[in-house]
Structure 1
């Protein structure tokens, strides 16, 4: 219910419900067992339940089984695409950890990719990638999951891989692998937490909100000191305690049958012994006797205040009402906080949200104010917004909008096999009932106005909270109130030891697990059928029917965007400002009224602008399409261009640009683009503009840009959804009234050249990591020419997880959380870029390894094994290319944008299968000019410059705008502590994907 975009991860329930759900499940006929009663197990596999779906019903059909060793198996059969999604979820996250051992669950997720008895180091990623699949693992407070999406002929391989690491992992866990993964996790923390603005916020809030020792009082990534303290035996014990089949759910969805999945589950998982019993946790909600004020200084521009109240766990009866409450108080343009603080320009951004986990929930109010504003004022304004809710109350429209948004979000989440499979896995893990969606929908539809008012009185009114102030360094006077809380361990009692006496017992089988399963016949892949049409005013339309979910997606692409600003570079950012204004009021409706109507429809309309185009994206359920298109017509053709709204957006834009200096990744990207494109090229200027150029933009400029360039003559329209050509085009008849106008595209500007490879440094004082960009301007997009072939060449260099660059910098050395390279051309030439965020004290060593790998690949070329891997991995990935509406829309948009013929995919496949080792090596020599690349780092100059100066390249200092910095007077040498490279290897990760 809370945060629907992460529903598949976060759904959880009170502890007793698993037993209740099992009691309520209707026993069905027993299914025969094959290898199910393998040695050491008793009984046979049981069919627990079978759930079917009636036409029009929002439900995921499935069959649920349980093996004798306690493994739950859930199967969703869906033959719409030749793919399969396999998910193994373990009911263990950081919520099972103890004081002093934070980060174990996440650390162990990394270790699960390091090979097992029958799967060699790095093989897990290689096997899945070579089969045309994708994979990852994630960890949160309450569960860890591992998953792969593959062509359906690879089902047995996926199950074999997951079973091998469940039952045969620990003998493959070495000290060497352990040390590399420790470094990788620390790099991940550096990238996501220590080197990110506001990165410590949730860690600080959690420590203040929950009692000392509560497993939510630390975050999933863990503390550095705990990561340094942990040893390999600790990790092994964590596996033995929590990674048994009786604490896991295997969920398989896609082009499979239940009989097929059960047979394979019995074969590969059936003989794995049960683990120790795992009991559900239940902890009391935090009780705060007073408001707890905490604060810290950070490298940020906007002072930030968050106020967090403890609430209820996931799936508690009060959760839906609290979700509605968060939307009314701070969830969007019509919310009280937005109206009081953002629209009035008292805050740069502000809002409220309600998030829940298995053991607790948190209701959060947040505001980021302008640089000189005091957070005491922000606290006053947030509390006044709460008080305003009491006077305002709850309306029928509030309830209607929430329910429509919920339904829309749920429908969209069911658009892919992976989405449906992950949802079944989460519901089973936390409720014992994969069909919990039905119960959740009933809870949402039962929410009343009185419920919302009651939960406000019960959980927020007069209640105490944690108030976290984050202020710019040296600005402690801006905090809301002096700190009055410190973590206190008094009274803490360590839990009973759960890890003594654990033994590793391997399964015994009647077959050879070391033999990798053979793949079935390759699935037949066909490009989705589509239709084309061109309107009299020039709009090119392409569409495809997709009836898996009752939705329609429209994507308008207008050529130009930022590129058109080359006509007047002094007003760069104008296209982006115009798109922002189109998201505001129309002549007939205010922006709040449009937002209200869209929420009630469960639809969205959004305008955006990028480097080479402006876009309009529309999403709607079929039943609400007419009303959504009426709002689209209003927004596209009757914008109000209100002066007050323009002033607010311009002020916010200027503050956002100034804030970029606190974000190392953004600084790196902006400076790198300036180096690539050179002075005088509009692409050297950020899409959002600079402070100077945005200050030059007036409302009249916006109106002129819209009138001159918002034209059907440069517009492509992609339509994908549950509608056919005749139906949708009749509904879009209003587009025929759109008058065309000539749009003069600027001539291409000469690109900057690189005379020789140099190192450029942008100083980011005290940065924990350095952002590295290495590259040059390469070539434009070509679907079947050298651009396509160059990306084939790059795949094993830096385009896959198992690429040379990533295996070196991440897996062998432990310098980074992820490193990569690739070509990114469009109609114009685009760059080849190698990039990573690396440990600060490994900056120079990382540059050495990047350049070594690029040079070695250029000189020595690809191996026979790498060539075969690349062909298999890319060739078999077609099964995943056209599954969702988004994927179909991207495919069709590419065809229109580059005027591609329908057979271009077949031509690509022919090129892929026939490309030779000699061709790849020639491409490497041509497109990897190691002596003519720019090497740029954003990091702590004092720490990284001495090492970089020893590498033999010229070193140039730049400011955050990319301008050269005048040399300073000579300073005393800096003693830079460097760590020795670690040996070993590592996997793919957690909360986000590396690739």
Structure 2
């Protein structure tokens, strides 16, 4: 999937994924396991393994576990709250199962598994799931590969048919052509997400430094391109036959389904598949470094980065929880020692610590990016980190350190239970890694048992005085900033040793029934739109809410209309900077104190500005709402606005903008704004402004912006959670007493004309991929008019995975990892764009293909089959629209923002089902004939000669600084 460039300079996960979605605080959970015979008559060959019952009080994930005769583990979790099902198939094979010199095969197979099987035509897996109203994807990591789809519950049998066909009958459909197309796609994925991204090679390099060449974690999941180039179809088939048998898989189904019928389907589609070779767990061998290993390289970045990684234990080791607590103390946010010593002091603009764990190994990692105002030398950063470790030894562990970890487990668990997908992924993970899906109680107990002494012990055992991999990444030409001269050489991966061919018979299954017949869908489920309530506070703030009792949580979103639209162009970024500074503490709490209070509550509060709003976002456990709202009001009404905080946050924003100048997708976004809305308009700049505009902002500007625009005059509030209207409204009285003056939002726009005869080019030397974007202004948002119908028209052209543009550029030509076209819009403005990140050698070719696709669609429109696909996919997807609190909140926000009737979805469904093909094609003819302009970001030496073949004037675009 394509991802947007992050607004931060550098980031990595602060909460261990294994915890955030799965573990339960012991005060909330205990499990009841009954291994007696179940009342359901089981199909032949299906055995009930265990039943975990729901608790009368507290939280757990009830399920039943079965096993088929061929070894397939099946876990069923019932959740009747929404008419959907989530199906996950997890194979205990990741890059760690690969052979030296044959890296990337597990990830390669993730791609191949979507390319059709014996009874599923090419590109049909995506099409069938999408047309069923579902969402799907697959992921690969070091230890496992999973494939999943969420669909309306009437589509369950069809999903089991799809998954079983690729488990048992994939190899018969693999061809050299498909192999080569996906090899090109994987290369494009690496180009987009690794080679063309600042710091993109960090993880790959650090793992080469920590692990011996023969260790399976020493190579990246995506693989080395040299290894993929050497791979053959025969290699791929052998790898699949070795690892993708049912006995090495877990099928987990969650949602609203009939259990007896589901077991019958599972047995029908999976039961006859042959057992694969026996799979043993990989031995866990401890890794340690005798001394520090130093290595450095240059990258297209604006700031140096220091990354230090200590090998520790392995996933589920008894010392893992204590090491997690240690990581949080050292570098887990504003209450940590590294934040105090590096960020608060101004030595670094960002710093942190993490302790991610995999099945075979964990690493305690520290990172920091220096503040140019205090020097760029990474040796200084390393010294501060080392001094911080000495400080910790003297400081020790306090009660809050342990409490915050335990609270984060509780809240992370509860939020992970908000979706069926979250619960299914938890069950599948524990079953795959431990053979025990019912591990939540023990997992949380491990963390509750951590003592202060444990944390000090693991610090001394795994960190203090131990060797680490120390990586310096510096801008080109600034090698003097590295921490220390290289003492380590990366292994040569271009010529691996010869390895034995996998001696596994090629998988061959024979079906006992006609699998070529796709199962029919069941009766369409009844969709329940959330019941909502409305109110108006004393100061006029509109409130809209809905009660959601599935988890004991509450979320609030306070929106103040205006946001970046209220900036002047000369001080663009003022709204964003003001919002960021409101997170830095109040007149009653320093930032560290505020963060500590929120951590103890398991709550989060953030202020941000984007689009046409400033937002205050709050998440809380229901039981802690009162205390959380007290902190929310303090942040809103008593911001500290200290000069030191302003200087630090402003500098961080400037450094983030500088880093964006090194990222192709970020540059393309800036170019789009400037070309589309004009150099003299505030709208021609991104929300965060430019280096020059942010540099011009003073603290008095922030204070004035807050006084003028942080007001209830144009505010609205959305509430979703485990609380009813009568109980909540009294808690909102203080917000209703909030006063502020009204203000105007300018709508005096003077945009430049679209120039279809010009191509705007931004040179990014040495970029491995080009970002191409054909775009124009379009209509503003409406729920049932031109904008809505234009999106229906565009769906087969560029919105679905199986759209014409994506299948052409990704699957047929191999130019990109993903291509699309889309309309996007707000209250007053809208855009249309088509584009992709593409191989720089094929920039011209990709642009011509997009032009031809748009021209053909504009001329002939969509086919009857495409129209039917669109109608089914979009209308049936509504069953997935209201599952989580965030989805419900988005629905309510839409109603408020655009003044929509509650039942606007019914009108949309009617339009989807009745709009004629001729009307949709008339829209295509009109909208796609409107003039558009190309924006291209890429390596000028390679790309510019290609662009000169196009019939456009090339404008070298100078972006606003």
TM-score band by shorter chain is over 0.9
With 315-324 and 48-57 compared, the bigger mean Cα shift is at 48-57
Residue matched to 1:227: 228
C-alpha distance after superposition, 1:64-100 (max 9, x if no partner): 0000000000000010000000000000000001111
Residue matched to 1:403: 406
Residue matched to 1:386: 389
8 Å CA contact retained: 1:11, 1:315: no
Correspondent of 1:28 among 22, 27, 36: 36
| 1:54-133 equivalence runs, <5 A | 54-133=55-134
What is the CA distance between 1:185 and its match in structure 2? 0.1
- Classify the secondary structure of the residue corresponding to 2:718: strand
Q: How far apart in 2 are the matches of 1:685 and 1:845?
A: 30
Residue matched to 1:680: 680
Q: How far apart in 1 are the matches of 2:698 and 2:56?
A: 53
Q: How far apart in 1 are the matches of 2:302 and 2:798?
A: 35
Residue matched to 1:6: 17
Residue matched to 2:26: none
What is the CA distance between 1:435 and its match in structure 2? 1.1
Residue matched to 1:892: 892
| 1:265-284 equivalence runs, <5 A | 265-284=266-285
8 Å CA contact retained: 1:89, 1:146: yes
What is the CA distance between 1:501 and its match in structure 2? 4.1
8 Å CA contact retained: 1:758, 1:933: no
8 Å CA contact retained: 2:20, 2:409: no
8 Å CA contact retained: 1:609, 1:615: yes
- Classify the secondary structure of the residue corresponding to 2:58: coil
1:451 has 2:457 as partner: no
| 1:677-716 equivalence runs, <5 A | 677-716=677-716
8 Å CA contact retained: 1:244, 1:276: yes
8 Å CA contact retained: 1:25, 1:48: no
| 1:904-919 equivalence runs, <5 A | 904-919=904-919
Residue matched to 1:137: 138
1:921 has 2:924 as partner: no
With 163-172 and 657-666 compared, the bigger mean Cα shift is at 657-666
Q: How far apart in 1 are the matches of 2:259 and 2:379?
A: 59
Residue matched to 2:870: 870
| 1:839-858 equivalence runs, <5 A | 839-858=839-858
Q: How far apart in 1 are the matches of 2:601 and 2:756?
A: 57
C-alpha distance after superposition, 1:556-600 (max 9, x if no partner): 1100001011xx321111100110111011111111101000000
Q: How far apart in 2 are the matches of 1:603 and 1:809?
A: 44
Residue matched to 1:988: none
Q: How far apart in 2 are the matches of 1:26 and 1:911?
A: 50
Residue 757 to residue 128, structure 1, CA distance change in 2 (3 Å): farther
When the two structures are aligned, how many residues end up with a matched partner? Answer: 939
Residue matched to 1:296: 297
8 Å CA contact retained: 2:241, 2:504: no
Q: How far apart in 2 are the matches of 1:352 and 1:4?
A: 11
| 1:356-375 equivalence runs, <5 A | 356-371=357-372, 372-375=375-378
Q: How far apart in 2 are the matches of 1:620 and 1:898?
A: 27
What is the CA distance between 1:424 and its match in structure 2? 0.6
Residue 348 to residue 740, structure 1, CA distance change in 2 (3 Å): closer
Residue matched to 1:941: 940
8 Å CA contact retained: 1:574, 1:697: yes
- Classify the secondary structure of the residue corresponding to 2:620: strand
With 111-120 and 440-449 compared, the bigger mean Cα shift is at 440-449
8 Å CA contact retained: 2:757, 2:951: no
Q: How far apart in 2 are the matches of 1:729 and 1:752?
A: 47
Q: How far apart in 2 are the matches of 1:25 and 1:272?
A: 30
8 Å CA contact retained: 1:32, 1:45: no
Q: How far apart in 1 are the matches of 2:498 and 2:939?
A: 42
C-alpha distance after superposition, 1:355-403 (max 9, x if no partner): 0000000000111113551111111011111111111110001101111
Correspondent of 1:499 among 473, 481, 502: 502
- Classify the secondary structure of the residue corresponding to 1:894: helix
Q: How far apart in 1 are the matches of 2:98 and 2:66?
A: 30
8 Å CA contact retained: 2:756, 2:934: no
Residue 158 to residue 222, structure 1, CA distance change in 2 (3 Å): same
1:652 has 2:641 as partner: no
Residue matched to 2:469: 466
Residue matched to 2:53: 52
C-alpha distance after superposition, 1:129-152 (max 9, x if no partner): 001001000000000000000000
| 1:607-622 equivalence runs, <5 A | 607-622=607-622
Residue 32 to residue 241, structure 1, CA distance change in 2 (3 Å): farther
Q: How far apart in 2 are the matches of 1:936 and 1:2?
A: 33
| 1:170-189 equivalence runs, <5 A | 170-189=171-190
- Classify the secondary structure of the residue corresponding to 2:309: strand
Residue matched to 2:640: 640
Residue matched to 1:355: 356
Residue matched to 1:484: 487
Unpaired stretches in structure 1, ≥5 consecutive residues: 13-23, 37-43, 963-995
Residue matched to 2:251: 250
Q: How far apart in 1 are the matches of 2:405 and 2:504?
A: 51
8 Å CA contact retained: 1:11, 1:314: no
What is the CA distance between 1:57 and its match in structure 2? 2.1
8 Å CA contact retained: 2:126, 2:801: yes
Correspondent of 2:535 among 518, 533, 536: 533
Residue matched to 2:440: 437
What is the CA distance between 1:2 and its match in structure 2? 8.8
Residue 896 to residue 569, structure 1, CA distance change in 2 (3 Å): same
What is the CA distance between 1:638 and its match in structure 2? 1.0
1:417 has 2:428 as partner: no
Q: How far apart in 2 are the matches of 1:891 and 1:305?
A: 42
1:264 has 2:265 as partner: yes
What is the CA distance between 1:816 and its match in structure 2? 0.4
- Classify the secondary structure of the residue corresponding to 2:50: strand
TM-score if structure 2 supplies the norm length?
0.96
Residue 225 to residue 493, structure 1, CA distance change in 2 (3 Å): closer
Q: How far apart in 2 are the matches of 1:338 and 1:103?
A: 37
Residue matched to 2:770: 770
| 1:443-842 equivalence runs, <5 A | 443-487=446-490, 497=500, 499-509=502-512, 511-565=513-567, 568-842=568-842
